[in-house]
Amino acid sequence: MKNISFKLKIALWTTLLITAVCTVSITGLIATSHVMTTRETKQRLISAVERNADEIEYKNGILEIENDFLFYSEGIYFDVYHMDNGGSWQCVDGKIPFNLSSNPNNGQPVKCTPENETEYYFYDVLINFNKYEYEIDAFSGQIIKYEAGSAHDAALTPKEYSVISFQNGIDTEQAIEIALEHAGASKETAKIVNVELPGYSDRQVFSVEFTDSAPHYNSVFVRGLVLANPVTSVLGTVTKAIIYILPLFVILAAAGAYLLAKKTMKRVESISNSARSINDGKDLSQRIKVEGGNDEISDLADTFNSMLERLQTSFESEKQFTSDASHELRTPLAVIKAECEYAMSPNADGSEKEEAFVSINEQTDKMTRLVSALLSLTRAEQGTKRFRFELSDLSALSADICRSYKTEKNIQLHYNINSGIHLDMNADLIRHLLENLISNAVRYGKERGNIWVNLTEEDDKIILGVKDDGIGIKEDDLPKIWGRFYRADSSRSNSEGFGLGLALVERIAVLHNGKAEVKSVFGEGSEFTVTFFKKV
């Protein structure tokens, strides 16, 4: 798998996932269908057999299967068995296509495989004729009609009846005794369910209904037979079709997944090719272009472009830094070498050698200051030095710096510092920040000019400002002044600084959860503001 392309891996995993989901779904569907169909088949068999059982009864002593009895219905075969006087079960009628045990099996449907390994369920309902219905002539006491059937509820509630008698006829109690005697039952074993004079008869008759715990007619049972699972063959056909179709489906799924992965990875390949082109050409100004909407791949391209932009800025900054640092160091080194060569020449006298050594010392001090400033700035930017911060009185520190600072060009330093302002700070860095701002204002200030230093506090921030009425900064130069070694041609070219002060100011402000900003009008002056945000 290590040497397989990513889009092929996506296609393979997608195909496997689709195949697994389909296999599990189809297997679950077949299993669920089998369970539900089996349950439905059993319930259908039970309902059909019990419905047919209601169509069998004894009428006037003769076993009768009514016309509503169906010997075949909706795939179910039925047989009717009757117990003879010898206690054996004999099939009276039916259409079950093969022989089964002739003994009834009450309860749940039973599975059997009589032939050809085809599975069936059969279900038996035993009919005990324990409910009797008689119609007896109210005058002669003659039995007009009698029936024997099955009482499904052995606890049929007897109805109250009134004793009715007819002149020259029989009464209710006599009608009951006639019915019981004819059925071979007695009042001790029988439960009188109902006695009434039905209104539908064209003559006066007693209708007597009762149940008896000792049936006097031989039992009958109805058997139903149905395929164990009528849809088994269909499911088998479907399963075989799935077995044949599944490989084709897997191939189609793999092809579709590969095309989808290829289309998706095409944009990733575009990013990769663009990045490779940028790397080979060493041109960081190029950007990755990806067609498409606002999706994850577009976000990836935007992230790469942001990274390239930062790298380009960083490389250009480092390139400029290297050039500027080389330029700044080249001049003092050239001076030192020239002075050394002159001092070592045989034409130099003692005073000239001393003058050369003084010049060498000055240039060495200048280089030392430059290297020290570069080191401080690098440590601040890279965070290689851990600075100690503590809550200190910023008001007292700022006032002390302003009082002790010696200005030049007859420039007046004014300060308005609110007392009691404290900041979690490194005092040495803050001193360096404020001194750099003041020295910058002095360096580019006018003769007999002014500098104003202000320190105020608001709800969530502390504002330190240094304003001057000096030569100002051109609008085009404002975004560049925070760069290392930057000095505007007209305003800074004659200065003795290295162009590192404001870069260091900005870095110190960031270290103290703040930001440095500038406003300037060329020819009128500049105002530098450092805002420290209080930490929550």
pLDDT of 431-452, one tens digit each?
888 988 998 899 888 899 999 9
pLDDT at 2 over 60: no
Evaluate whether 296-378 and 387-533 have a shared fold. Answer: no
CA 443 – CA 451 distance, rounded (Å): 11
Rounded to an integer, the average pLDDT of 114-136 is 86
Least confident range from 33-42, 206-215, 457-466: namely 33-42
Range 209-235 average pLDDT: 79
DSSP string, 289-327: ---S-SSHHHHHHHHHHHHHHHHHHHHHHHHHHHHHHHH
What single letter denotes the amino acid at residue 51?
Answer: R
Higher pLDDT pick, 520 / 487: 520
Task: Just give the CATH number of 296-378.
Answer: 1.10.287.130
Q: pLDDT above 70 covers what percent of the chain?
A: 78
Determine the pLDDT at residue 491.
43
pLDDT at 237: 61
User: Range with the lowest mean pLDDT among 68-82, 186-200, 283-297, 335-349?
Assistant: 283-297
Confidence of residue 277 (pLDDT cuts 50, 70, 90): confident
Asked if the model's pLDDT at residue 455 lies above 60, the reply is yes
**223-232 b/e (C-beta count within 10 Å ≥ 16 → b):** bbbbbbbebb
Query: Any bridge partners for residue 206, and if so which?
Result: 136
CA 181 – CA 133 distance, rounded (Å): 13
Tens digits of residue pLDDT in 103-118:
888 778 888 887 667 8
> Domain segments of the chain: what residues?
129-218, 296-378, 387-533
| CA 254 – CA 8 distance, rounded (Å) | 10
Q: Which one has a higher pLDDT value, 305 or 175?
A: 175
Is it true that domain 387-533 has CATH number 3.30.420.40?
Answer: no
Is 201 within 8 Å of 135 (Cβ atoms)? yes
